[in-house]
Amino acid sequence: MTEIYGTLGPACADSKTLKQMFDLGMTGMRLNLSHMSLVQAEHMISLMRQAGGDSAKLLIDLQGPEVRIGPMQEPVFLEDGQTAVPGKDFPVSADILKEIRDGDEILLDDGKILLRACGSGTSFLNALVVRGGMLSSRKSLAVPGKTFRLPTLTEADRENLKQAERYGVYGVMLPFVRSADDLISLRKTLRELNLPDIRIFAKIENRDGVRMIDELIPEADEIVIARGDLGNAYPLWELPAVQKYLSRRCREAGRPFMVVTQMLASMENSPVPTRAEVSDIYNAVLDGASSVMVTGETAAGKYPAEVIRYLVNTVHQEEYNEKNA
């Protein structure tokens, strides 16, 4: 049976909504620790436990070696055609800025916003806003073709892992896995904390992860095909083939895999999904996905329970058709 995951967030953080989501067939929930700690999320986790019972699975998504902008007091709107100054108009680490060169594309918030660098410096650079939008705190940053060498685990990650047993964490999602060493390092940390049974979910989000997939598979309990940043690393028209390739390598190795990102993105604002979205879910399960997950659809969208209803029903339809083929 394919497992169904939602993401905890303000939109679903009430007992009634969470109970409805679990009653519809949701397996568990992801908590994004790029924006809060386990301790800060204690109330939401408690509500999840009350709604889903002991069988509800909690996945924590670490910060890991993911590049993000820094914390901001208020969002900033970047308008098409304006000149923005990363590092001044919004916070970016100087270590990242010094690696960016004139002409580099800078993708923010999973590619929703696109800048093009115009010169570089150690503390800030100028950039043309090619595709603008509202930018808020701690959103992702990617520069296609560049890899920023960051440690596998941040200090915040280590502090959260120390709390994992207390909150009944089932699995740890490590973003931007680059090599087997990242997973070996995480496994070692879990053993040092006497947490050997926590499952490791390796998120494939860049070209390094795709290229090293055969090396990663033996070190992970489950592979996560995370299409948000993969869609920044590759042209979007290449992304379906990348997903198919990763699915096939996991199937051939007998390793479970999860498909995530924008599965029902339109339902953040609509009570009904698009035909393309339900086809996407169906095909992910047909390709052998052991689990599927939604993110902003339940964390911040208007219809979190309806999202799970469509996700569960589509998954079950594929399973029924396959059983009765």
Q: Do domains 3-66+150-323 and 76-142 have the same CATH topology?
A: no
| Helices within 25-111 (DSSP H only) | 42-52, 94-97
pLDDT at 300: 96
* 295 belongs to the catalytic site: no
pLDDT at 123: 53
* 131 belongs to the catalytic site: no
Catalytic member of 17, 57, 68, 227: 68
* 189 belongs to the catalytic site: no
Mean pLDDT, the chain, integer: 93
Of 252 and 143, more confident: 252
Catalytic member of 2, 17, 30, 178: 30
With tokens 């007998």, the residue in question is 254
Per-residue pLDDT at 121 exceeds 60: no
| Terminal Cα distance for the chain, rounded | 16
Q: Where are the domains of the chain?
A: 3-66+150-323, 76-142
Give the type of residue at 293: M
Catalytic member of 2, 17, 27, 261: 261
**CATH number listed for the domain at residues 3-66+150-323:** 3.20.20.60
According to CATH, the topology of domain 76-142 is M1 Pyruvate Kinase; Domain 3 (2.40.33)
pLDDT at 71: 85
In this predicted model, what pLDDT tens digit does every residue of 243-298 receive, in sequence order? 999 999 999 999 999 999 999 999 999 999 999 999 999 999 999 999 999 999 99
pLDDT at 142: 86
* 2 belongs to the catalytic site: no
In this predicted model, what pLDDT tens digit does every residue of 86-95 receive, in sequence order? 988 999 888 7
Give the type of residue at 172: V
Percent of the chain with pLDDT over 90: 79
Of 190 and 64, more confident: 190
Catalytic member of 203, 227, 255, 309: 203
Per-residue pLDDT at 122 exceeds 60: no
Those residues whose C-beta lies under 8 Å from the C-beta of residue 259, and which sit 6 or more positions away, are 225, 227, 243, 247, 284, 289, 291, 292, 293
pLDDT at 124: 62
Please, which residues bridge with residue 172 across strands?
60, 200
pLDDT at 120: 59
pTM: 0.83
